Amino acid sequence: MYLLTDRPPQLETPLNILRQDITPNEYFFVRWHLSQIVTKIDIDTFRLYINGDVDKQLTLSMNDLKTKFAPDSVIALAICSGNSRSTFSPKVPGSQWGNGAMGNAKWKGVRLKDILAMAGVKNGAINVSFQGMDKGALPGVPNFVKSLELSHAMDGEVLVAYEMNGEPIPMLNGYPLKLVVPGWYATYWVGSLNTVNVLADTFHGFWMDKAYQVAKNPALNESPDSLSKSTVPLTNINLHSIFVEPEPGDTVTVNKPRLVEGLAFNDGARIQKVEVSFDNGKTWMETKLNPELGKYSWRRWKCDWTPKTAGRYHLCVKATDEKGRTQPDKQWNRSGYARDFIEHLDVTVN
């Protein structure tokens, strides 16, 4: 793992690990916002609190979650909003992630809608907020609280997860409970979740109103001297595709077949095709897609390449989904969020 910061902990997954369809827990990327994370929990006394505009406030133990609700599971990609930030030009502030601030896992837990149904949501409620047990190092640091519209929270896809790849969620990834919001960036996947609050008004807080903002017009590319004056919270995962093999700096042998492989992903729309170019985008060829693992999982693509001459090659990859969306040639925003522009890879052939 590559350590970006230790307070709060931020760890990036090596690219070669992404050659596995399911990311092992011990190599799953780590991203916290507040430095005082939970390092020890007595699971017997831990409780999840359901408060706010509900008929009955709930205090749920881990045993309650496992015995009073039907379990559900989903294979879903968790991806940091700033994944691939280091590739933006001009450079932007923030942790300079490569392509490894993401991971694919099977999450098991309880449907959020079932928990809210037990509590009984009052008429007029419109929003639900979520808070974990991590804290800021100094007084006045805003608690990390995210929110969803009630309709989203009740859609049956949002999970309160207690397992990751068949094991308890690791401490560094949000033990004992993690909010799983398939198809949305992992800023909403609140770790060490212990408080859910149903609200009769839209939640307002630093991490929703100030942080993780993007241009209201999604087609707008900002520039350093022309920033959007109208912003909204970042939500859905943008369509993107990457290379996982070869890796940057690898050397390929002339006249010898070489596997070229990567991943494509988005907010849940079916990946229709992935194309690669070996001549800097002049010509494109369609790759072979592996079977789907689930609508919210990444999808692997592969092709064989036999370069006929030695030299320097400039590879590109782009994906297209069932909604007709594809990837732009360029993109820039002030925070380096939601990268979707075409991936490039320089390869030397000897």
Average pLDDT over residues 239-261: 96
Residue 201 pLDDT > 90? yes
Q: Answer yes or no: is pLDDT of 313 > 90.
A: yes
Mean pLDDT score, 177-205: 98
Q: Measured at the alpha carbon of residue 52, what is the angle toward residues 47 and 54, in degrees to the nearest 5? A: 95
Q: What is the mean pLDDT of residues 327-338?
A: 96
Is the confidence at residue 221, as pLDDT, over 90? no
Which amino acid would we find at residue 227?
A: L
Q: Is the dihedral of CA 95, 183, 28, 47 positive or negative?
A: positive
Q: Give yes or no for residue 306 having a pLDDT over 90.
A: yes
What is the rounded average pLDDT for all residues in the chain? Answer: 97
pLDDT value of position 219: 77
Q: Would you state the pLDDT for residue 264?
A: 98
CA–CA distance, 226 with 14 (Å, rounded to integer): 35
| Residue 235: band (very low, low, confident or very high) from pLDDT cuts 50, 70, 90 | very high
Report angle CA 92, 341, 232 to the nearest 5 degrees: 60
Contact 130, 193 (CB under 8 A): yes
Q: Quick one: pLDDT at residue 185?
A: 98
CA-to-CA separations, 154 to 51, 111, 150, 330, in angstroms, rounded: 16, 9, 6, 36
pLDDT number for residue 118: 98
CB 208 within 8 Å of CB 164: no
Cα dist from 65 to 154, 156, 176, 287, 312, whole Å = 17, 16, 11, 43, 56
pLDDT of residue 174: 98
- Given a contact cutoff of 8 angstroms between Cβ atoms, the answer to whether 336 and 85 are in contact is yes
In this prediction, residue 208 has a pLDDT band, given cuts at 50, 70 and 90, of: very high
Spatial CA neighbour of 197 closest among 131, 286, 288: 131
How much of the chain exceeds pLDDT 70, in percent?
Answer: 100
- Structure-model confidence comparison of residues 184 and 218, the more confident one: 184
Q: Would you state the pLDDT for residue 220?
A: 81
Residue-level pLDDT at 218: 77
What global pTM score does this model have?
0.96
Residue 289 has a pLDDT of: 98
**Cα 118 to Cα 207: distance, rounded to the nearest angstrom:** 28
Work out the average pLDDT over 228-249.
96
User: Predicted confidence band at 317 (pLDDT cuts at 50, 70, 90)?
Assistant: very high
Average pLDDT over residues 14-28: 98
Mean pLDDT, residues 217-223: 85
Q: What residues contact residue 265 under an 8 Å CB cut-off, 6+ apart?
A: 77, 79, 102, 237, 239, 240, 241, 271, 297, 298, 299
Dump pLDDT digits (tens) for 23-79: 999 999 999 999 999 999 999 999 999 999 999 999 999 999 999 999 999 999 999
Which tokens hold the place of 57?
């406030």
Q: Does the pLDDT of residue 277 top 90, yes or no?
A: yes
